[in-house]
Amino acid sequence: MYFKKLTIKNFGPIKSFDFNFSFLGNGNPKPLVLVGLNGSGKSIVLAHLINALITIKQQSFEDVEINNGKVYKYRSPLYISIGEAFSFSKVEFQNDLYVSDWTLNCKKKDFVSNAGIVPNLDFWGDIPEHENSYFSTNASQKSDKVNEIFSDSVAIYFPVNRYEEPAWLNQDDLKIQAHFSELRRVSGISNREIIQTNPLKKNQDWVLDVVLDKYVNEAKFMDMPLPQGVSGPTPTVQLTHYVGQNTLMLEGINEILGKILMESGAHLRIGVANRKNRQISVMAGNEVLVQNIFQLSTGESILLNLFLSILRDFDLSTQQDTPLAEICGIVIIDEVDAHLHIVQQTQFLPKLIKLFPKIQFILTTHSPFFILGLNKQLGLEGFDIIELPDARLIKPSEFSEFESLFDSVEDAQNLQLIVNKSTKPIVFVEGTIDIDYINKAAALLGKQNILDAIELRDAGGFGGLNKIHGVAKTPIVHAFAVRFMLLYDCDVSKNDQTQDGYYLKVIPQYANPIEKGIENLFSKDVIELLRQENPRFIDITPAHNKVIRGVNSVIPEKLEINSDEKRNICNWLVSKANKSHFEGFSIIFDFIESFINGK
């Protein structure tokens, strides 16, 4: 079972998504990776696919996560894209099954006259005149195909809230023992779930089943003759080997463990403790590597359960004697990189995906490291990347997160060069105008000794300070030779921060005529001087009346520094102003002095 095509029109941020799923020349499906900023529609795409899987499964099976006749995702006019009159989607499978739904912003009988369009999309004519939504699937007419799909292949979804509690969080976890699974052998019961959240306990029980069934049911015996040294009957020795589905599953489990734990030179395998303490352990040769799989790290546990769940789900199908490379079906993983270390994203996860070439993986990610690893394992043509909300097919190098990553690395390297060249603590301000004002204030207020103790540097504007702030939140800040401080103007929504080697201070906002920028430190008298000197310096919005929700309000006069005159204003004040004009700058020197003293 594979998805064939997905069409989405006017749903949330997605205006148009029309994608034919890709396959290699040998018929194997290409993994599809959905990327984009938060809110770009990645979860919307997944919701349509998962809804389709659940809908068709409901037609033949009772044990589905959503009640029969209900849907996984809401259908509401609230989800229609802003400015549009309808939303439409259609999910098509390779075996001619489909699931489709319409939502209109009014009843159909009024739609054409209100919207002025007749949509040229499937099932428009089937929408009842007095309805504003329509849901359609042909699964009920093709129950044989539905049975075949969910009996022979994998269909599972891992939401972003999947997790396993670490062993240290709850000591009871360490006492959990594996038990043999109890399956309901009733018509219409699949014993399988599409949505996987906390599968570790189920996987542990399943592993115990696999081990028992292998050694009880799949043992094959063969008599091998030994060299005969004397006359008489030929001596033989009985050899045991194992053949069957459980043997293949156990080999697959061990291969997955090897990819996750990466123990060089060690043959990893599953071990089972005795019946008094039935724990599943990980063995390296004859040595216990992990006493209980509940004791794995969060990242290891997540990877193990992602891929053991694929094996377990397929093992509950009707297929038998199937190695990893032949397991087929659909696996959807939201934020596949969540809680994984960079090495796990770049190396382990792509290698595990490569173990299942017949699985149609549909993944969302923010991680350029995962994309790099997938490209290395599968090659440029081995997978597809779609960037949302534009639904644009892109190459790995076009992934916007790469640009952010490289920019961050470049910013960190540049900052480190600047900081490590200095012998004094550094104070970064938003621009050269701030530097000129602070230098003049130091001279007038007798604070030159404070300024001489630091190096005052231009960060290249508000955005430059933010870049430095981004670098300062990373571990690289601990490699800097000197301490530094970021000094923001009053009009930013940030909080003061103090940590080893790094300070962030926001100049308070005072009740002065100019509300924004470092010019807020100048009093009413200074601003009046500027108005008299040159009317071009100050932009004025006169006091006026404004009716707000039926209530008349008086809006006071508003003064703003003309952005094109900021440099001219600075030059005039630096050359003409006196000590009293710069009294408001005392707070800056208080900040710098505290920074120097490490307070």
DSSP code, position 391: T
pLDDT of residue 145: 78
DSSP, residue by residue, 436-479: HHHHHHHHHHT-HHHHHTSEEEE-SSHHHHHHHHHHHTSGGGGG
Is 554 a residue whose pLDDT tops 60?
yes
Phi, psi values for residue 378, rounded to 5°: -105, -15
Q: Which CATH class is domain 1-153+328-398?
A: alpha beta
List the strands of the sheet with 133-137, edge to edge.
14-20, 3-11, 86-93, 98-104, 133-137
Q: Are 41 and 12 in contact (CB under 8 A)?
A: yes
Nearest C-alpha neighbor of 68 from the set 128, 10, 140, 160: 140
Highest mean pLDDT among 4-8, 76-80, 419-423: 4-8
Residue pair 594/548 in contact (Cβ under 8 Å)? The answer is no
Asked whether the beta carbons of 257 and 308 are under 8 A apart, the reply is: no
Nearest residue to 454 (alpha-carbon basis) of 493, 414, 503: 503
Task: Round the average pLDDT of the chain to a whole number and report it.
Answer: 83
Provide the token pair at 326.
Answer: 């032949």
* Of 165, 240, 176, residue with least CA distance to 205: 176
Choose among 508, 510, 521, 513: nearest CA to 538.
513
**Residue 3 — left, alpha, or beta (φ > 0 → left; ψ -120 to 50 → alpha)?**
beta
pLDDT of residue 170: 47
**What amino acid occupies position 99?**
V
Q: Do β-strands 484-488 and 502-506 pair in parallel, antiparallel, or remain unpaired?
A: parallel
Alpha carbon 133 to its chain centroid, in Å, reads: 32
Tokens of 462: 């508000």
User: By percentage, how much of the chain surpasses pLDDT 70?
Assistant: 84
The neighbour count for residue 433, using CB atoms within 10 Å, is: 19
Start-to-end C-alpha separation, the chain: 64
Query: 27-41, 50-64, 447-461, 585-599 — which is least confidently predicted?
Result: 50-64
Torsion of CA 315, 358, 153, 19, to 10 degrees: 150
Using alpha carbons only, give the angle 55, 195, 353 rounded to the nearest 5 degrees: 110
Q: Which residues contact 193 (CB under 8 A, 6 or more apart)?
A: 63, 65, 156
Q: Is 351 left (phi over 0), alpha (psi -120 to 50) or beta?
A: alpha
Element (H, E) at 595: helix 586-596
CB atoms within 10 A of CB 377: 17
The neighbour count for residue 538, using CB atoms within 10 Å, is 21
Q: Is the pLDDT of residue 324 over 70?
A: yes
DSSP 321: S
* Cα 429 to Cα 406: distance, rounded to the nearest angstrom: 24
Binned at pLDDT 50, 70 and 90, residue 185 comes out as very low
CA 93, CA 53: separation in Å to the nearest integer? 10
Distance separating alpha carbons of residues 73 and 494, to the nearest angstrom: 37
- pLDDT higher for 569 or 461? 569
The pLDDT of residue 253 is above 70: yes
What distance in Å separates the CA atoms of residue 542 and residue 470, rounded to the nearest whole number? 40
Could you write out the DSSP letters of every residue in 114-147?
Answer: HH-----STTGGGS-TT-SEEEEE-GGGGHHHHH
Indicate whether 418 pLDDT > 70. no
Any bridge partners for residue 486, and if so which? 428, 504
Confidence of residue 175 (pLDDT cuts 50, 70, 90): very low
pLDDT confidence band for 331 (50 / 70 / 90): very high
Prediction pTM value: 0.65
DSSP 27: S
pLDDT per residue as tens digits for the range 120-134: 999 999 999 999 999
Checking if the pLDDT of 163 tops 70, the result is no
pLDDT in tens, 41-93: 898 999 999 999 988 888 767 666 666 655 566 677 888 988 899 999 999 99
Kindly list the distances between the CA atom of residue 527 and the CA atoms of 434, 513, 524, in Å, as whole numbers in the listed order: 17, 7, 5
Whether residue 593 is predicted with pLDDT greater than 70 in this model: the reply is yes
Nearest residue to 381 via CA among 364, 393, 392: 393
Q: What is the pLDDT of residue 452?
A: 93
Nearest to 19 by CA among 73, 84, 92, 100: 92
Domain boundaries, the chain: 1-153+328-398, 163-327, 404-596
pLDDT digits (tens, 9 = 90+) for 380-410: 899 999 999 889 898 876 776 555 555 555 5
Of 8-12, 192-196, 226-230, the one with minimum mean pLDDT is: 226-230
Share of the chain above pLDDT 90, in %: 34
How many whole angstroms separate alpha carbon 436 and alpha carbon 439?
5
The whole-angstrom separation of Cα 521 and Cα 517 is 8
Given a cut of 70, whether residue 555 has pLDDT beyond it is yes
The more confidently predicted of residues 236 and 66 is: 236
Which spans in 42-94 are helix H?
Answer: 42-58
